[in-house]
Amino acid sequence: MTRQHHRHAFALVFILLLVTVAPAPAEDKKDSNDQQDEPPKPVKVYMGRRVAQTMHWLGAEWLIRQRREREERASVMLANLGVKSGMTVCDLGCGNGFHTLKLAAMVGKKGRVLGVDIQKPMLDMLMKRAKQYDIENITPVLGLTYDPKLKPGSCDIILLVDVYHEFDQPEPMLKAMRKALNRTGRLVLVEFRMEDPDVPIKLLHKMSKPQIAKELTANGYKLVRQYDKLPWQHMMFFERDDSPTKAVKLIPWQKPKDDQKESK
Ligand SMILES: C[S@@+](CC[C@H](N)C(=O)[O-])C[C@H]1O[C@@H](n2cnc3c(N)ncnc32)[C@H](O)[C@@H]1O
């Protein structure tokens, strides 16, 4: 090899190195919540709705209270979620894992549940409980208020029980969750019914069906299903607006006559 050949080879290696370690172009950065220079600003009101305060981890015992199944029929909610063995399900805002543990059994050994929360003590409690029950298919994920730290296209289902109304950066969260869903993945909101005065929860922690639909459709989602038979909560299923599923019309909530006694 001549000296000139050596020089050419050296230049080529140098260029290749530059290409490998060079930072991503500015356009890629814009799209990732991870790499933004400044975190997005929290909001107090979103689309006419007051955002609720985050439930503190010191109150976590309330989430696993014995009477919760009777009050909310969580088993009925989970049975209607569409979970299949082998799926990746994200329990977003999982708290100490009331639903996460049950979801782990539903997806089976080949599936995985991602438990995301912004409070580390909640995740510690979740994993302590998982260990008690020998559950090994839960991955705890410490999210940020504007970034759930989920991989693009990684989720079949993202479940949010009594969580969405606490987001103080709803738009970045909705954007990030949309990205984390696969093409037919579903985002499922379970929220206490604003329309129902018999649901004994503070107004700030309730949401109406039209308000939920308004916020989600404004952020690239479409309503594909609604389950209206839980005693206290709405259960609304959304997909990305570019999914192959047809959107459904919102059915306004009405108190079923024969249910009136049951939910009191
Ligand atoms: C009322 S608790 C509900 C916990 C659980 N989903 C359940 O039903 O038992 C709300 C949880 O959402 C979490 N949370 C609030 N904002 C969040 C966000 N942006 N990302 C992830 N978790 C969040 C809170 O830390 C809290 O643990």
Q: What does the pLDDT profile of the chain (264 residues) look like in tens digits?
A: 444 444 444 343 333 333 333 333 333 333 444 455 688 999 999 999 999 999 999 999 999 999 999 999 999 999 999 999 999 999 999 999 999 999 999 999 999 999 999 999 999 999 999 999 999 999 999 999 999 999 999 999 999 999 999 999 999 999 999 999 999 999 999 999 999 999 999 999 999 999 999 999 999 999 999 999 999 999 999 999 999 999 999 999 998 786 554 443
Return the ∠ at Cα 39 (arms to 95 and 25), rounded to 5°: 120
Q: 3-state DSSP call for residue 159? A: strand
CB 150 within 8 A of CB 176: yes
The closest residue, in CA terms, to atom 10 on ligand 1 is 163
Specify the pLDDT at position 101: 98
Cα-to-centroid distance, 195 and ligand 1 (Å)? 22
And the tokens for 76? 């009925």
Query: What kind and span of H or E run contains 116?
Result: strand 112-117
Residue 250's CB is within 10 A of a number of other CB atoms, namely 15
* Ligand 1 pocket at CB < 6 A: 54-55, 63, 92-95, 98-99, 116-119, 122, 143, 145, 148, 161-163, 166-167, 173
* Cross-strand bridge partners of residue 189: 160, 236
Distance CA 82, CA 227 (A): 12
What domains are there in the chain, each with its CATH number?
42-259 (3.40.50.150)
Distance CA 211, CA 191 (A): 11
Specify the pLDDT at position 259: 56
Cα-to-centroid distance, 92 and ligand 1 (Å)? 7
Return the ∠ at Cα 36 (arms to 161 and 18), rounded to 5°: 130
Cα-to-centroid distance, 216 and ligand 1 (Å)? 18
What predicted TM-score, i.e. pTM, was given to this entire model?
A: 0.86
Cα-to-centroid distance, 24 and ligand 1 (Å)? 32
Q: Ligand 1, residues 65, 118, 190, 192: which to mutate, most atoms within 8 A of Cβ?
A: 118
Specify the pLDDT at position 151: 98
Residue whose tokens read 């220079």 = 37
